[in-house]
Amino acid sequence: MKDSHAHSGPDQHTRGPSCKAGTAIERDARTHGKVRWQQGYRIDELVHELDLFRQVLADAAGTFAESNDAFTRRHEGRARRLIDEAVGVVTFPSVREVVTERDRKIDEYTGSLERANHELTLKQRLVSDLYRHRTTKRDIPTEVDPDVSGASGRLGGDMRSS
């Protein structure tokens, strides 16, 4: 007897959606993440929102199961696994997009800070060089001021006569 659960390819749960619909869902999930980032959502808020989405889907499956006698526990278990898979397909690209946007913004700020720091370093060197140049000029006399030497001479002369 052949096992009814055996199949020839990789498990759908491990390989993810391979059809165009899966790609569209992932694209929409990335858009969702980008929009939530622009709205200021933090990662924990995004994950909480996606968990609420999972709960709504699970509640809908439970309500359907209660109202449909043909819907067995086995069907409900399968529905919950499909819900988990669908939410997973949405969660990972959405969170990844938020993280990518956050990292991009951090890189942008870091670049700005590095450029500002470099400019400040150059200006600090310029001010230091200017200060050093002024200090050096003040310490080296270039010529003798006749008023200063004359005053000293007179002062000295006045002291001798007293």
Judge contact between 32 and 65, C-beta under 8 A: no
pLDDT value at position 26?
Answer: 87
Cα 67 to Cα 69: distance, rounded to the nearest angstrom: 7
**Which tens digits make up the pLDDT trace of 39-92?**
998 889 989 999 999 999 999 988 998 898 898 889 988 998 999 998 888 888
Q: Using 50, 70 and 90 to split pLDDT, how confident is the model at 138?
A: low
pLDDT value at position 21?
Answer: 58
Cα torsion for 145, 147, 152, 157, to the nearest 10°? Answer: 140
Q: Model pTM greater than 0.85?
A: no
Burial class (CB in 10 A: 0-12, 13-18, 19+), 33: buried
**Which tens digits make up the pLDDT trace of 90-131?**
888 899 888 998 999 999 999 999 999 999 999 999 999 898
